[in-house]
Amino acid sequence: MGAGVALFAAVFLACAVEAVEATTIVLAAGTARDWRSALTGVAAGLLVLAVVVAVLGPALTLIPLRGLRLAVGGLLLVFGLQWLRKAILRASGHKALHDEAAIYQKQLAGAQTAAREHRGAVADWYAFTLSFKGVVLEGLEVAFIALTFGSNQHDIPLAAIAAVSAVVVIAAAGAAIRAPLARVPENTLKFVVGILLTSFGAFWGAEGAGAHWPGSDAALLVLVPCVAVFAVGLVAALRTRSAAADRAPAGTTA
Amino acid sequence: MTRIRAFAAFWYDFVIGDDWRVAAGVVIALAVTGAVSTTTTATWWIVPAAVAILLPWSLWRAVRPPRR
């Protein structure tokens, strides 16, 4: 029960973040160019993702669990550390915050200046490719997270439900307000997802390499809060370091 | 050739990201865990210890002032 809730929450949050980014791109393509072409791009992107999931999903279930946990745990850990690194840099003021409204305006400006080109059944090729790329690139991360979490926990259907729910909720919100979802606390979500990916990746990776966790799956209940506290501590340390550097007279910093 | 390069660059960015040392450190930590797991020594702590070293190290490299 607990593992199922953790699986659902981790996949839902990670997929929601990616869905917000894809929605911003599709909204820009549809608003500035042509909704029909943009939505055709979405459909084509979803088709590509469905093929990827249909091929990779069954293939993952054929790999022995230990090998799967080692490979997938390692990948998730690298992936999670990447997310967490960026999230800590953003939270401590060393990297610009992810601003969905600004990204939308940039995409909109780019879309408004591009030339219109008719190709085959697509009235506006630029709107089609912009939407298609957005859906495929962000969707690949969704598919990767859902498949890896699902296969490791032997519950791909639950992971798929979590991923689809996140995409449906975000897409419905985007369609309802026809504006970038700037109110979604994306930076906080990314921080949380980075913690979850890092924790699950460390757990599965170590287990796949042959380690035995004290308390078995219950070790995750300690690991996740420990990674969270560590990450928050790093944010505080980096903020303190920046404040000290700002206060120091020029030429006195190491 | 440009497309192959772009494809490789996409996957490198997707999996490895901004700091390849983190990915290399994870691979080393998992290899050490695998090697030590053949003995009776507890190995569960090796990967978390690697995270505790790799993450601050990577952050420190990201925020340090550029060398002149």
B53 within a domain of the structure (yes/no): yes
pLDDT tens figures, A115-135: 677 777 777 888 888 889 889
Please compute the mean of the pLDDT values over residues A195-223 and round it to a whole number. Answer: 91
Q: How many CB pairs under 8 A join A and B?
A: 106
Return the structure tokens found at B56: 């601050």
| DSSP state at residue A249 | P
Quote the CA–CA distance of A235 and A230 in Å, as a whole number: 9
Q: How far is B5 from chain A (nearest CA, A)?
A: 17
At how many degrees (to 10) do helices A65-91 and A125-152 cross? 120
The structural domain count of chain B equals 1
Give residue B16's pLDDT: 81
Contact A84 B55 (CB under 8 A): yes
Residue A252, pLDDT above cutoff 60: no
Give residue A253's pLDDT: 44
Q: Looking at the partner chain, which of A78, A212, A238 has a beta carbon nearest the beta carbon of B44?
A: A212
A140 to chain B: closest CA residue: B14
Contact (Cβ atoms closer than 8 angstroms) between residue B49 and residue A223:
no
B27 within a domain of the structure (yes/no): yes
Provide the pLDDT confidence category of residue A254 given band limits of 50, 70 and 90: very low
User: Chain B contacts of A211, Cβ < 8 Å?
Assistant: 33, 37, 42-44, 46-47
Residues of the domain holding B40: 18-68
B63 within a domain of the structure (yes/no): yes
B45 within a domain of the structure (yes/no): yes
Give residue A180's pLDDT: 65
Amino acid letter for position B67: R
Please compute the mean of the pLDDT values over residues A182-204 and round it to a whole number. Answer: 84
Q: Where are the beta strands (DSSP E) in chain A?
A: none
Residue A184, pLDDT above cutoff 70: no
Strand partners, A119: A122
Instruction: Provide the mean pLDDT of chain A.
Output: 83
Contact (Cβ atoms closer than 8 angstroms) between residue B12 and residue A82:
no
For chain A, percent of residues with pLDDT exceeding 70: 91
- Full-model pTM: 0.76
Provide the pLDDT confidence category of residue B68 given band limits of 50, 70 and 90: low
Return the structure tokens found at A174: 């985007």
Residue A168, pLDDT above cutoff 70: yes
What residues contact A20, with CB distance under 8 A and at least 6 apart? A100, A170, A181, A184, A186
List the single best residue of A69, A85, A190, A203 to mutate versus B (max B Cβ within 10 A). Answer: A85
Provide the pLDDT confidence category of residue A157 given band limits of 50, 70 and 90: confident
User: Chain B contacts of A80, Cβ < 8 Å?
Assistant: none
Residue B7, pLDDT above cutoff 50: yes
B13 within a domain of the structure (yes/no): no
* Domain coordinates in residue numbering, chain A: 2-244
**Burial of A171 from C-beta contacts in 10 A (0-12 / 13-18 / 19+):** middle
pLDDT tens figures, A19-60: 888 888 888 888 877 888 989 999 999 899 888 888 887 777
